[in-house]
Amino acid sequence: MESKHVNQQIAAMRQSFFDEEVLDEFFSQLEQLEDQNNPNFVEEVFTMYFRDSTTLLETVEQAMKTISITLAKMDKILHQLKGSSASVGANKVLNEINKTRQVLEKGNLEGTKAGIWEMRKKYGSLKAKLEPYFQLKQANSVPQEK
């Protein structure tokens, strides 16, 4: 019974990610690649995504504190973040990246910096939502019998 309640909680959390447009259909695609042989696949992918994205964000945030930051440097990082965010279905992060790149293409350095900070917030929010979701899923997963 308790497991059923937790399953409902997990399902509700998952649905909220789509309702709030935090995630898109590419997240669903990831879920379909998960199987018995690889039951934590989605969590592993997001662990990889969060690790690499956090590094990129720290790099760009450090660079933004210096006077040597250029639009080209920021664009390179945004480009990388865009690809991985789109691939995992991180919809709101992706939207913010797209908005920021539009500002960047107009040559607006300060506007681009502001956009990156905004994107950082969306990214932080995504991480804050997904990490407890994966923890709950893992805690509720039935151990495989040998």
Partner 1 sequence: MAPTLPSSDQASDQDNWDNGRLARKRQLLIEIVLRNRLTALVVDGDTTCRVLEQLLLRSYGVQTQGVDNGRDAVALIASGVKFDLIIIDMILPVLNGLEATRQIRDMGVHCKMLGVTICSGESERQAFLAAGVDVFIEKPLDPEHLVPILRELDGQ
The site for partner 1, by CB under 8 A, has a size of 28
Q: Which residues contact 82 (CB under 8 A, 6 or more apart)?
A: 94, 97, 98, 101
Share in percent of the chain as helix, strand, coil (round to 5): 80, 5, 20
Cβ contact 111:71 at 8 Å = no
Among 26, 99, 118, 129, binds partner 1 (CB under 8 A): 26
Per-residue contact track with partner 1, 31 to 50, x per CB under 8 A? -xx-------x---x--xx-
115 is a site residue for partner 1 (CB under 8 A): no
Among 22, 74, 77, 84, binds partner 1 (CB under 8 A): 84
The tokens of 4 are what?
A: 């059923």
Among 22, 60, 74, 82, binds partner 1 (CB under 8 A): 82
In terms of CB distance, is 29 or 59 closer to partner 1? 29
User: How far is Cα 108 from Cα 112, in angstroms, rounded to an integer?
Assistant: 6
Q: Which residues contact 75 (CB under 8 A, 6 or more apart)?
A: 101, 104
28 is a site residue for partner 1 (CB under 8 A): yes
Among 8, 12, 79, 138, binds partner 1 (CB under 8 A): 79
The tokens of 38 are what?
A: 């690889």
User: How far is Cα 134 from Cα 139, in angstroms, rounded to an integer?
Assistant: 8
Binding site for partner 1 (CB under 8 A): 18-19, 21, 24-26, 28-30, 32-33, 41, 45, 48-49, 52, 79-80, 82-84, 86-89, 91, 94-95
